[in-house]
């Protein structure tokens, strides 16, 4: 006999199943978009898919309230709904994601009551350890039996890609050469030597990636093979990546999320964790487009960490921001950012504009140069874990963003990012090596952002950071905008000596005007920093360079970005 709790549980799971059906449909479409080189459709699908979870939650909340309007006030019903929902997840292939979807629906229907763990899935209720789908998550190949060349040929055939291969013999020859260079003979070959390859390709931007691992006795070696289309639309292998840092960089959250069709995400994430053991599951779920599941896992990991540590949240190192308050837990490699109530001059913006800027980054191709953020509402953290000085700063500068609820400090809107070393902090010891790396890395980041139609706005080094992979990344988004929205101007010639000595400019300046000739002076300190900026980044001080980038974007000529070193590309090998 049906009960109200059972009906509500069934309605929520039906909502999730419809959401995941749409998610898989979009991800499956990546194959055809890649084969047909429909690059604008690739970007559009990537942006659209980000909203699927929230759209599904809103539709499900509306359906739950339509069928059971009293459920909003009847909090006592929710433990029964949760119990009925657990029963429905038996044999479900995405139970962990379905639990997260349930939490989102429950939190929308209820109010602060969702702090009660018996109403939601604070911990997972269904194990995913041995879960698999109708088709295996990965396939096995045996190079000792078939030979390495023939094995790779079979891997490529199993992908069933429509375009013809441009130079299969040459590409396979280069694969074998890289393997021999990386693993020179003599090398013991174990009886169990095998290549395990994920059954589906990973699609992102203008590339598709084969992801796998080679198992030889007790040794496991991850590998990735990027596939690209040449100018004639023919397939080619672009590289063979076998270093751990190159594989990890592919899955960096400073890049757009992968499109991959997966029936059992837990099995796929389990495979990925085997080749990237230092990446938390939260980041890997996010990397394959299940960012809501990534958020859930990060939140759980945070509270597990709090239970097993005793350090305090403190203000993050670096120059204090004029728009955001940034704090960190030293034992956890993340920073937490909230918007201040009042912004210090000369900042002229609003909280809503700042939120829109962060949303722009979420939807845009981050090209490896912008940090991804996890966004949370009503985060309740233990007050006794806050440094008193930080707590006083939060009360003083963001009183509308925080409130005390018993022993909890509730922050109504919060961003979380991977912690980096701020570029200005990185350069403080002024060693020649670090200065050269910082100035050159800053310029490379700005160029790649410009090619992707992004202008950072505030170009000061304090708004850039150095990642654990040694890459310069932009992370302060309150002044970010599209490059095509900016007018790059050359400073007019002074009419007289009085113009030069005047306190105010002798020419009109509109809000969207930018004068690149000022960058070396206003971005870099005088001395060695400024000298290196003129050496490495002279082009960025020329308004014409910026106008050329704008013209290329407006003409629809897309830039191509490579998440691995150029010297590894087969086109750059003899």
| Catalytic site positions | 372
Report the DSSP pairing between strands 334-339 and 235-237: unpaired
Q: What is the DSSP letter of 256?
A: P
The residues, any chain, with a CB within 8 Å of residue 520's CB and separated by 6 or more, are 530, 533, 534, 537, 541
Cα Rg, the chain, nearest whole Å:
26
Contact 316, 331 (CB under 8 A): no
- Beta-carbon neighbour count of residue 343 at 10 Å? 19
Residue 324 has, within 13 A of its CA and on its CB side, a CA count of 28
d(CA 33, CA 26): 10
Contact yes or no for 423/472 (Cβ under 8 A): yes
**Cross-strand pairs, 165:** 235
Q: Which residues contact 210 (CB under 8 A, 6 or more apart)?
A: 155, 159, 197, 198, 201, 224, 225, 227
Question: Using the 8-state DSSP alphabet, how is residue 304 labeled?
Answer: H
Q: How far apart are CA 90 and CA 13, in angstroms?
A: 12
Confirm if 392 and 327 have CB atoms less than 8 A apart.
no
Q: Residue 347, Cβ neighbours under 10 Å: how many?
A: 15
Tokens describing residue 412:
């109504």
Q: Please give the C-alpha separations between residue 82 and each of 113, 236, 528, in angstroms, as whole numbers.
A: 14, 50, 62
Q: Give the Cα separation of 415 and 424 in Å (integer).
A: 22
Give kind and range of the element (H or E) at residue 521.
helix 519-523
The residue among 289, 237, 271 whose CA lies nearest residue 139 is: 271
C-alpha 421 chain-centroid distance: 18
Q: Which two tokens stand for residue 179?
A: 């393997």
State the Cα angle at 554 between 561 and 33, rounded to 5°: 50
Report the C-alpha gap between 75 and 471 in whole angstroms: 48
Give the three-state DSSP class for 293.
helix
User: Is residue 309 within 8 Å of 327, Cβ to Cβ?
Assistant: no
Helix (H, G, I), strand (E, B) or coil at 341: coil
**Contact between 244 and 222 (Cβ < 8 Å):** yes
């Amino acid at each position: 006999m049906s009960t109200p709790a059972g009906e509500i549980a069934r309605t929520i799971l039906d909502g999730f199943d419809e959401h995941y059906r749409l998610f898989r449909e979009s991800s499956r479409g990546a194959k055809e978009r890649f084969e047909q080189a429909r690059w604008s459709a690739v970007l559009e699908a990537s942006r659209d898919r980000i909203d699927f979870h929230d759209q599904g939650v809103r539709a499900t909340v509306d359906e739950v309230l339509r069928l059971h309007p009293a459920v909003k006030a009847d909090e006592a019903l929710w433990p029964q709904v949760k119990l009925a929902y657990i029963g429905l997840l038996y044999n479900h292939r995405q139970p962990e994601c379905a639990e997260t979807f349930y939490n989102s629906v429950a939190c929308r229907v209820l109010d602060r009551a969702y702090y009660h763990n018996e109403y939601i899935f604070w911990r997972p209720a269904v194990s995913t350890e041995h879960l698999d789908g109708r088709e295996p998550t990965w396939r096995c190949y045996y190079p000792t039996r078939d030979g390495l060349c023939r094995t790779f040929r079979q891997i490529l055939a199993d992908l069933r890609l429509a375009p013809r291969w441009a130079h299969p013999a040459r590409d396979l020859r280069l694969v074998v050469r890289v393997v021999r260079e990386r693993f020179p003979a003599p090398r013991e070959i174990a009886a169990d030597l095998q290549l395990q390859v994920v059954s589906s390709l990973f699609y992102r931007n203008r590339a598709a990636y084969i992801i796998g691992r080679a198992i030889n006795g007790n040794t496991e070696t991850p590998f990735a093979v990027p596939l690209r289309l040449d100018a004639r639309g023919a397939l080619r292998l672009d590289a063979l990546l076998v270093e751990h840092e190159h594989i990890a960089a592919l899955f960096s959250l400073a890049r757009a999320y992968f499109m991959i069709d997966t029936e059992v995400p837990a099995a796929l994430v389990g495979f990925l964790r085997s080749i990237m053991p230092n990446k938390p599951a939260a980041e890997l779920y996010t990397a394959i487009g299940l960012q809501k599941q990534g958020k859930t896992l990060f939140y759980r990991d945070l509270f597990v960490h709090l239970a097993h540590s005793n350090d305090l949240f403190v203000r993050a190192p670096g120059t204090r921001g004029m728009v955001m308050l940034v704090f960190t837990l030293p034992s956890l490699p993340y920073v937490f950012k909230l918007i201040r109530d009042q912004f210090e001059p000369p900042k002229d913006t609003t909280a809503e504009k700042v939120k829109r800027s962060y949303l722009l980054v979420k939807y845009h191709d981050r090209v490896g140069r912008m940090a991804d953020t996890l966004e949370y509402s009503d985060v309740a953290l233990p007050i006794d874990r806050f440094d008193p000085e930080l707590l006083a700063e939060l009360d003083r500068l963001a009183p509308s963003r925080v409130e005390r609820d018993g022993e909890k400090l509730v922050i109504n809107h919060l961003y979380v990012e991977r912690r980096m070393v701020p570029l200005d902090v990185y350069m403080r010891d002024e060693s020649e090596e670090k200065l050269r790396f910082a100035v050159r890395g800053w310029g490379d980041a700005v160029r790649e952002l410009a090619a992707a139609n992004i202008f950072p706005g505030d170009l000061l080094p304090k708004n850039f950071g150095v990642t654990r992979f040694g890459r310069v990344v932009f992370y302060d988004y309150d002044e970010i905008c599209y490059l095509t929205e900016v007018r790059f101007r050359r400073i007019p010639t002074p009419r007289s000596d009085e113009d030069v000595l005047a306190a105010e400019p002798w020419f009109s300046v509109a809000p969207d005007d930018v004068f690149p000739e000022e960058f070396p002076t206003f971005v870099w300190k005088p001395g060695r920093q400024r000298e290196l900026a003129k050496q490495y980044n002279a082009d960025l001080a020329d308004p014409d360079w910026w106008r050329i980038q704008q013209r290329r974007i407006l003409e629809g000529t897309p830039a191509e970005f490579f998440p691995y070193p150029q010297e590894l590309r087969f086109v750059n090998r003899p």
